């Protein structure tokens, strides 16, 4: 019984969304064009459950390139309407279209010179008639068996808001990099913002030896710099190879007397590398691809003189991995 009731709720809300998709018309395109054309902000307002959905709509728009914020209508009639400026677009949400607090601020919205997009389920309502553009969010039935709690109607409202935000995103040519700028604290933001140069070690921290460096000194460089690797450069400072902990272990397993060798004798040529302006996420991808834990960094991908080194631990600490 419980599972059947749950499935019924999902079906009712799914049917409401499908009906909403079929009902999308030219008014939706007009709303998108109106918002794109404005030099102001999008102000979303709504009371109760509609207000909670409105907050999410405003947040989604703000994070996808459309400046937007939520205005509580009850606070609005007590002074917060001063947040609205001429040229703004107000999206007012009310399923009935007759919510008192929303209706009371409509005349002021007009007087302030803002455009009004009415999002309601009642085409004959005060809100619908007041709007410059009317977006129909009506549903056949609520999922609540009492027909009282907003369920399918709030789902439809949320979907309409998402549709607006995504349509605006596409029209603006909004990119993943732009999205990351508004989410610098999240995992996605870090992957799309942090670059290799932000995390690399350079100058004195860079482990480097020359071709002729005795392995005793090369070993000290590896251990003292704590990256498990050292680069091997020629007289001009060009990176020719690397020596890793693994190279040392394999040489010892073969019975080589490494203390009588020079760095050039043990180095692995043509080491993997990365440009300093590449995304840190790309460094992680390259490390995983070649099963290595560090990359020497260059001013550009095809560079010859290393300017830094980035280690897997740097990526882990930054939350990239």
Give the model confidence (pLDDT) of 141-195 as tens digits. 998 888 778 899 999 999 999 999 999 999 999 877 667 667 666 666 667 778 9
Q: Please give the CATH superfamily to which domain 196-317 belongs.
A: CBS-domain (3.10.580.10)
Q: How far apart are CA 242 and CA 264, in angstroms?
A: 9
- Give the strands of the sheet with 306-311, arranged side by side: 273-275, 294-298, 306-311
Q: What is the pLDDT of residue 180?
A: 66
Average pLDDT of span 196-214? 94
Alpha-carbon distances of 214 from 4, 28, 116, 168, 222, rounded to whole Å: 76, 73, 77, 62, 13
Instruction: For domain 2-174, give the CATH number.
Output: 3.40.50.10490
Please state, rounded to an integer, the average pLDDT across all residues of the chain: 91
Residue whose C-alpha is closest to residue 242's, from 232, 234, 252, 254:
232
Average pLDDT of span 271-276? 93
3-class DSSP assignment, residue 32: helix
Range scoring the smallest mean pLDDT among 17-31, 74-88, 184-198, 288-302: 184-198
Q: What's the pLDDT band for 92 if we cut at 50, 70, 90?
A: very high
Question: Where in the chain are the domains?
Answer: 2-174, 196-317
Q: What's the pLDDT band for 260 if we cut at 50, 70, 90?
A: confident
Average pLDDT of span 202-226? 93
Q: What is the pLDDT of residue 27?
A: 97
Residue whose C-alpha is closest to residue 239's, from 303, 311, 312, 310:
303
Q: Between 251 and 182, where is the model more confident? A: 251
Residue whose C-alpha is closest to residue 23's, from 118, 142, 158, 160:
160
Q: What is the pLDDT of residue 193?
A: 78
Average pLDDT of span 227-244? 94
Residue 104's contacts (CB-CB under 8 Å, 6 or more residues apart) are 73, 77
């Amino acid at each position: 019984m419980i599972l059947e009731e749950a499935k019924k709720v999902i079906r009712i809300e799914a049917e409401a969304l499908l009906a909403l998709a079929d009902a999308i018309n030219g008014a939706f395109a007009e709303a998108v064009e109106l918002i794109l054309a404005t030099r102001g902000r999008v102000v979303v307002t709504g009371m109760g459950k509609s207000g909670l959905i409105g907050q999410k709509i405003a947040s989604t728009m703000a994070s996808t390139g459309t400046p937007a914020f939520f205005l509580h209508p009850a606070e609005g009639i007590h002074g917060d309407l001063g947040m609205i400026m001429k040229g703004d677009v107000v999206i007012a949400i009310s399923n009935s279209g007759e919510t008192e607090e929303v209706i009371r601020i409509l005349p002021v919205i007009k007087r302030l010179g803002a455009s009004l997009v009415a999002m309601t389920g009642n085409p004959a309502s005060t809100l619908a008639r007041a709007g410059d553009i009317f977006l129909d969010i009506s549903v056949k039935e609520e999922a609540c068996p009492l027909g009282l709690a907003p369920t399918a109607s709030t789902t439809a409202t949320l979907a309409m808001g998402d549709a607006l935000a995504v349509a605006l995103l596409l029209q603006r040519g909004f990119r993943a990099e732009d999205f990351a700028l508004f989410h610098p604290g999240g995992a996605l933001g870090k992957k799309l913002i942090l670059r290799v140069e932000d995390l690399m070690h350079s100058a004195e921290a860079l482990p480097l030896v020359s071709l002729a460096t005795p392995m005793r000194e090369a070993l000290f460089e590896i251990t003292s710099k704590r990256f498990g690797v050292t680069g091997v450069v020629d007289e001009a400072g060009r990176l020719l190879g690397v020596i890793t902990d693994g190279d040392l272990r394999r040489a010892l397993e073969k019975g080589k007397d490494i203390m009588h060798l020079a760095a050039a004798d043990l180095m692995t040529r043509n080491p993997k590398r990365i440009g300093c302006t590449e995304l840190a996420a790309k460094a992680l991808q390259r490390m995983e691809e070649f099963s290595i834990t560090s990359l020497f960094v260059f001013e550009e991908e095809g560079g010859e003189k290393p300017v830094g080194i980035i280690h897997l631990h740097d990526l882990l600490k930054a939350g990239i991995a």
